[in-house]
Structure formats: structure tokens, C-alpha cells
Amino acid sequence: MSLSTKPLSGMRQRLPCEFRIEKYVTETLRLCSVQAGFEEYDGPVIEPLALFAAKSGGELAGRQSYCFTDRGGREVILRPEMTPSLARMVAAQGELQLPVRWFSMPLCYRYERPQRGRVREFLQFNLDVLGSESLAAELEVILVLQGIMKSFDAPSSIYRIGWSSRRFMADALARCGVEQSLAGAVFSAVDKRDKMKPDAWAELLLQACGGDSGAAEKVIALVSVEALSDQWLTDLMSGSSAFQEVVEFDELLRGVGVPGAIFSPGVVRGLDYYTGIVFELMDTGGENRRSLCGGGRYDNLAGLFGNKKISGVGFGLGVLTLTLFLETYGLISDTVKEAAAAEVYIAVASFEAVTGAGILAEFLRDKGIRVMTDVSGKKLGKQFSEASRYGIPFVVTVGSGEVKAGVYKMKNLSDGTVFTGSPEEITDRLK
């Protein structure tokens, strides 16, 4: 039986042309983070299953993840996301100088049905502020998110940052008549609103409300609100401190100027550890309407480890999902897609010239020039074609005569001009 040439379903592999684009995206994310004063970290790919069951909830840790018992009899998990690992790492540090601003780019794993933008092995960008209970922390991470979109030249017309508050929604659900014991199920149902047909979602919500049609109707009205000034909403939330926090955050967003940020009560996020402001970055351009990333406030980050309370706020952004968004709207330039593997191609005229070609290549590389040397032994004409195929703009021909004289011909493939000179002169011309 022959082996398959395909990777396991949902597992990532990147050819050079694909990796080049991914590298451009990840380097831009890193630059935006560093410019905002964030530092990079990483953690283990394999963690104890109990860590994720406690922090992320049973659905993610159980049904959507790669879990197994290792040879030591321990129940472990391939990390499906980063926040629980972050909680463990922060707790292990003891006394941290708070607040801290960290970001990471981990490989994560979820056992889900592969589809466009959703795979089982994926690179995820995470950014968090830890140790600040001020709404300024939420504002900061959303400003970084907006800065990322600006860095990719994404117009605000094709995305929005929908936001709400889990604290506000918990209070609102109680005022809508939802029993406290059913709040978790209602949160889960609300989170599925944009993923289901309206009738099917309404039935799911009714079940989550324990069959209470009156409460379900009020919840539908709640998640349909489009403005904080809505009279029905202000009447419902009269005297609520959680609602006042939402109003204050809206004033911050308006004051700084975040045009894509819109209050959306239906944004609740599906993970159990979110407790305050939550938000999602949505593609609204019409080509691929879906969530690009999500995040929010989570309290008592290190509480499971017996440490003092550390609050945090952050978000996770799928690199593949963001890349598909950028490609859909033509936001990745041909310069990135067609970047040459080298600046100079050294064509080797004969086997006797291989040593001289290697010496010249090392000289140019030491000067900071990217050099590809022919290793095929093909005729010179085919070597020139190979350089053109790679998009390399210059070709230096090396033969026994050139090596002996120490003078080489360099051809510009775009206009056909030829420059003759020493290695030093070639370096100067290239620079």
C-alpha cells in the first residue's frame, strides 16, 4: 500500500509561496505589538487536561480538542488556545510587576470539522494586558487591534469591532426573567446566534430559557438592540452598575475615535472565563461575513493556582483567518506574493568554477546581499532561465577565466544591461 501525499485533515503545511505570505502577516502583527509596548512569550504545546477544563469550559476541553493519556498515565491536551497556559505561567512567576503587556504566536489544535478559515492545527496571535482593572486596558487592546487593521490598509467599511459585556449581559438576562441556573445555557445559545438560521436559533434559545417563552422573547429583543440609547434597553437596565460601565466604555471609544467599534449585545463570547467587556472583529465586506477574532476581560486569571487575583484583558486572532480576509479584499500586495528568493543568482559555467563561485557567494553574503548559487550543473542559458523563474533580478556569471582575473559580469535581467567589475564593485553597484 502506497503512502498518501496529503497531510492529515486540517493539519497545516506551507509551501514557500504560502509561507512568504504568512511571514508577512505574522511580522506585521509582531511589529504592531512591539510598537505598543508588548513583549513576546510562548508556552508548552502539551498541557494538563484539567487546566483547560477548568479555565475554558467542558465543550472546548472535551469535544473540540486533542486529548489523550500519555505514557505516564497523565491526561493531557494539545493546547486549543493560549489563555489557560498564560494563567499558569503568570501564577508561577509569583510577584510580577503589574500591569504586564504580553503577546504570543502559538500553534494551537482543535478537533473541529475543517472548512475555509477553520482548521485543526492553526497559528493564533494573542495579546493581553494583565493586572489592570481599568477600562483603559480594554481600550488599549482594541486600539492595538484597530492599529493592526490600519497596518494592512483595511478600510473601516469592510470590518467592525462589535462589543458588549458579560457582566452587563448577566444582569440583563436576569432582568429579562432568565433564571440564574440557566444563564450559562443562554450565553451559549446567544453565542451561536450568527451561526444558525433564525428559526432554529429561536428554538435553541427557547430551550436554553427552560421553555419560558416570555423570557426568550425579551432575550431576542435584547440581542437585537443596536444602540445604548435605545429606550427599551435604558428602561430595562435602570440603576444597573454593569450598564453604567458599558456606557463609560462607549464614551472612551468615542473619545479616542474607533470608527469600527459598535455596541452589540449579542456579542458574548463562548468561553467561560470571560467576565467583563467582550468584543469580536467581524468581516462585514460581504465576501466572507464571519468573526476574525475575539477577546475580552477575564477576572481572577491565576485564581485556580491559589495566587492573588490578577485580572486581564486580551484577544486571540487566527493568522489563517486574517490572511484569508486580506487576500479576499486584495490587501496583500504583489510585492509580498512575488518576493524574490535572492538578490543575485550566480551562474556557474563549469564544474571547475564551483569553488570560485562559492567564494564569491560567501563574499557577497558577508556584505548582507542575498545570493543563490546554481547547484544544477545545467547549461548557462538554463541557469539564466532558472534565475528569471525565481524572480531574481541580477545574474553574475562565474567561469574559470573570471575566477582567475577576479572580474565578473553581472546582467540585469529586467533591462539586459551588463556591468563588469570586481566583487567589491559588484557589491557597491548592488547596494
pLDDT tens-digit series, residues 335-348 = 888 888 999 999 99
Are both 254 and 374 inside the same structural domain? no
250: cell is 462607549
- Res 84 pLDDT > 90: no
- Hey, which of 130-144, 259-273, 274-288 has the most confident mean pLDDT? 130-144
- Which one of 283, 305, 334 terminates a domain? 334
Q: Which of 285, 312, 334 is the last residue of a domain?
A: 334
More confident residue, 54 or 368: 368
Q: Is residue 160, in this structure, part of any structural domain at all?
A: yes
Instruction: Assess whether 353 and 330 both reside in one domain.
Output: no
pLDDT at 287: 67
Of 44 and 431, more confident: 44
Same domain, 329 and 314: yes
Q: Are residues 382 and 318 in the same domain?
A: no
What amino acid occupies position 154? A
Q: What is the DSSP string of 276-332?
A: SEEEEEEE-SSSS-SEEEEEEEES-TTGGGTPPP--EEEEEEEHHHHHHHHHHTT-S
Closest to 390 (Cα-Cα) out of 367, 368, 374, 378:
374
The answer, yes or no, to whether residue 254 has pLDDT greater than 70, is: yes
Is 9 part of any domain?
no
Residue 118 has pLDDT above 90, yes or no: no
* 285 and 395 assigned to the same domain: no
Ordered strands of the 394-398 beta sheet: 371-373, 344-348, 394-398, 408-412, 418-421
Binned at pLDDT 50, 70 and 90, residue 55 comes out as low
Q: Is 22 domain-assigned?
A: yes
pLDDT band at 58 (very low <50, low <70, confident <90, very high): low
Q: What range does the domain containing 139 cover? A: 16-334
User: What pLDDT is recorded for position 192?
Assistant: 86
Tens of pLDDT, residues 393-423: 999 999 999 999 999 999 999 999 999 999 9
In a domain, 8, yes or no: no
| C-alpha to C-alpha distances, 56 to 147, 352, 413, nearest whole angstrom | 28, 64, 56
Rounded (10°) angle between helices 319-328 and 16-35? 100
Question: Residues 192-215: what's their mean pLDDT?
Answer: 89
SS3 assignment, position 345: strand
Q: Is residue 11 part of a domain?
A: no
pLDDT of residue 56: 62
| 398 & 414 share domain | yes
**Cα-based angle 10, 14, 18 (whole degrees, multiple of 5):** 120
Indicate which CATH number applies to the domain containing 214. 3.30.930.10
Choose between 346 and 50: higher pLDDT: 346
Indicate the pLDDT class of residue 59, thresholds 50, 70 and 90: low
What is the total count of domains within the chain? 2
Q: Does 211 share its domain with 312?
A: yes
Per residue in 7-41, pLDDT (tens digit) is 989 999 989 989 999 999 999 999 999 999 999 99
Q: What average pLDDT does this structure show over 182-189?
A: 89
pLDDT score of 187 = 87
Residue 262 counted as domain residue: yes
- pLDDT-derived band at 136 (thresholds 50, 70, 90) equals very high
In the chain, the percentage of residues whose pLDDT exceeds 90 is 69
360 and 229 in one domain?
no
Please check whether residues 287 and 388 belong to one and the same domain: no
Establish if 95 belongs to a structural domain: yes
pLDDT band at 61 (very low <50, low <70, confident <90, very high): low
| Domain co-membership, 263 together with 142 | yes
Q: What is the mean pLDDT of residues 84-88?
A: 88
Mean pLDDT of the chain: 91
Q: Give residue 274's pLDDT band: very low, low, confident or very high (50, 70, 90).
A: confident
CATH number of the domain to which 361 belongs: 3.40.50.800
Q: How many whole angstroms separate alpha carbon 218 and alpha carbon 211?
A: 13
Q: Is 355's pLDDT higher than 80? A: yes
Residues 324 and 247 in one domain: yes
pLDDT band at 62 (very low <50, low <70, confident <90, very high): low
| DSSP string covering 393-407 | -EEEEE-HHHHHHT-
Q: Are strands 121-130 and 408-412 parallel, antiparallel or unpaired?
A: unpaired
Where does a domain end: 334, 369, 400? 334
Whether pLDDT at 288 is above 80: no
Contact indicator for 372, 390 with CB cutoff of 8 Å: yes
SS3 assignment, position 102:
strand
Residue 61 lies in a domain: yes
**What pLDDT is attached to residue 108?**
94
pTM, two decimal places: 0.86
Tell me: do 68 and 186 sit in the same domain.
Answer: yes
CA dist., res. 49 & res. 370, Å (int): 46
